[in-house]
């Protein structure tokens, strides 16, 4: 990126994965939802891949007691590698080496699920003086096609401050989301943010731009996180820290992402993602398409 410095780009991605996963019970009693496979790849590897592609060199996974398996997934498996090597299974070998090779992985511990803002705050001790900004990626939100973080870094280079990601959602379907109050800039896909309303009725929504799980946050957010109290649901909300920064004049923009998304955090959204990815898979796609067509009684085309 021309002219970009560590002031405007980021090298650390924070991935909060310490939530209770209540929407995915009973499975999440024992299996972290971040490890559920979209076809054969855990959602968190897809998100780590996205962060690495956008230039992150390390990922801080915020975990909770009992969810160590999420970070373990990014460690080398020498015995398994040896077994696959001796059997000449080179493709599988490459697949299992992929996640550990994407970026450096560290963990931060959130002892109790006190909210997304609280989870992000736990990663502050992992940062160094180079981290003028950090990316935050929610691992249960797949934003497709990938690449929005790079555009967000460009917007920070131009406008400074923090940059969030939004989807343009039809007004009648806006109610489940956090919705931005925005004004236009000279780029149609970049808006200046003045505030945010959580889960508004369609008539009260300040815009049709709904928040997605990608953030590029100026380091100032960690100071703001120390100055907010519990918000919606009694939790420390990341959006409340961003709102505090906005009220103090910190520039916040959104990039409007023109693409799709999957919510991996509930069974319905997860199934859609799995089917979407599987239909594009050269190995499983054709047979799945045929079976699905037969199952729903339509035609293949
Ligand atoms: P979600 O609300 O989607 O996840 O939070 P959750 O809390 O696990 O899910 P439900 O509502 O109980 O089903 C978005 C992201 O923030 C993380 C979650 O792990 C998820 O990736 N999170 C949330 C934390 O790390 N800590 C928290 O206290 C809350």
The pick from 25, 47, 116 for probing ligand 1's pocket by mutation, whose C-beta has the most ligand atoms within 8 angstroms, reads 116
* Structure confidence by residue, pLDDT tens digits, 182-237: 999 999 999 999 998 888 899 999 999 999 999 999 999 999 999 999 988 899 99
State if residue 31 touches ligand 1 by the CB under 6 angstroms criterion.
no
**What is the dihedral angle through the alpha carbons of 198, 204, 208, 214, rounded to the nearest 10 degrees?**
-10
State if residue 141 touches ligand 1 by the CB under 6 angstroms criterion.
no
State if residue 230 touches ligand 1 by the CB under 6 angstroms criterion.
no
Kindly tell me the sign of the dihedral angle through the C-alpha atoms of 159, 49, 196, 173. positive
Which residue lies with its CA nearest to atom 22 of ligand 1? 19
Residue 172 phi, psi (nearest 5): -70, -10
- Helix ranges (DSSP H) in 131-203: 148-159
Tell me, what's the pLDDT at 232? 80
State if residue 43 touches ligand 1 by the CB under 6 angstroms criterion.
no
* Structure confidence by residue, pLDDT tens digits, 104-160: 999 999 999 999 999 999 999 999 999 999 999 999 999 999 999 999 999 999 999
User: In terms of DSSP bridges, do strands 260-263 and 141-144 run parallel, antiparallel, or are they unpaired?
Assistant: antiparallel
State if residue 178 touches ligand 1 by the CB under 6 angstroms criterion.
no
The pick from 15, 18, 19, 33 for probing ligand 1's pocket by mutation, whose C-beta has the most ligand atoms within 8 angstroms, reads 19
Tell me how far apart the alpha carbons of residues 275 and 37 are, in angstroms, rounded to a whole number. Answer: 11
Tell me how far apart the alpha carbons of residues 46 and 273 are, in angstroms, rounded to a whole number. Answer: 12
User: What mean pLDDT is predicted for residues 63-72?
Assistant: 94
First vs last C-alpha separation in the chain: 42
User: In terms of DSSP bridges, do strands 58-63 and 12-16 run parallel, antiparallel, or are they unpaired?
Assistant: parallel
* Structure confidence by residue, pLDDT tens digits, 127-136: 999 999 999 9
State if residue 19 touches ligand 1 by the CB under 6 angstroms criterion.
yes
Q: Is 192 in contact with 120 (CB distance < 8 Å)?
A: no
Which residue lies with its CA nearest to atom 23 of ligand 1? 19
pTM of the complete model: 0.95
Of all helices (H) and strands (E), which one includes residue 247? helix 238-247
The pick from 108, 212, 265, 268 for probing ligand 1's pocket by mutation, whose C-beta has the most ligand atoms within 8 angstroms, reads 265
Tell me how far apart the alpha carbons of residues 252 and 193 are, in angstroms, rounded to a whole number. Answer: 5
Tell me, what's the pLDDT at 91? 94
State if residue 140 touches ligand 1 by the CB under 6 angstroms criterion.
yes
State if residue 116 touches ligand 1 by the CB under 6 angstroms criterion.
yes
3-state class (DSSP) for residue 186: coil
Neighbours of 182 (CB within 10 A): 22
DSSP for 249-299 reads T--EEEEE--SEEEETTSHHHHHHHHHHHHHT-TTTHHHHHHHHHHHHT--
* Structure confidence by residue, pLDDT tens digits, 246-282: 999 999 999 999 999 999 999 999 999 999 999 999 9
Tell me how far apart the alpha carbons of residues 82 and 69 are, in angstroms, rounded to a whole number. Answer: 21
**Ligand 1: centre distance to CA 119 (Å):** 9
**Ligand 1: centre distance to CA 289 (Å):** 33
């Amino acid at each position: 990126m021309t002219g970009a410095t560590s002031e405007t780009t980021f090298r650390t991605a924070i991935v909060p994965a310490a939530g209770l996963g209540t929407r995915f019970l009973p499975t999440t009693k024992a299996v972290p939802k971040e490890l559920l496979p979209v076809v054969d790849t855990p959602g968190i590897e897809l998100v780590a891949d996205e962060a690495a592609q956008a230039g992150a060199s390390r990922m801080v996974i915020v975990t909770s007691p009992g969810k160590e398996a999420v970070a373990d997934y990014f460690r080398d498996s020498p015995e398994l590698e040896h077994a696959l090597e001796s059997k000449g299974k080179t493709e599988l070998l490459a697949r299992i080496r992929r996640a550990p090779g994407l970026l450096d992985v560290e963990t931060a511990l959130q002892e109790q699920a006190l909210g997304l803002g609280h989870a992000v705050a736990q990663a502050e001790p992992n940062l160094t003086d180079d981290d003028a900004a950090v990316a935050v990626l929610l691992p249960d939100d797949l934003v497709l096609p990938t690449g929005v973080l790079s555009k967000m870094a460009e917007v920070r280079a131009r406008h400074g401050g923090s940059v969030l990601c939004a989807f343009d959602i039809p007004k009648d379907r806006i109610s489940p989301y956090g919705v931005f109050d925005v004004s236009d800039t000279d780029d149609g896909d970049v808006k200046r943010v003045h505030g945010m309303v959580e889960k508004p009725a369609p008539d009260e929504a300040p815009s049709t731009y709904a928040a997605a799980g990608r953030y590029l946050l100026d380091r100032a957010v960690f100071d703001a996180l120390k100055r907010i109290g519990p918000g919606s649901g009694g939790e420390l909300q990341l959006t409340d820290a961003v709102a505090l920064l906005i009220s103090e004049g910190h520039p916040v923009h959104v990039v409007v992402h023109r693409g799709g998304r999957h919510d991996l955090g509930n069974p319905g959204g997860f199934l859609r993602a799995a089917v979407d990815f599987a239909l594009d898979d050269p190995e499983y796609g054709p047979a799945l398409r045929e079976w699905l067509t037969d199952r729903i009684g339509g035609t293949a085309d």
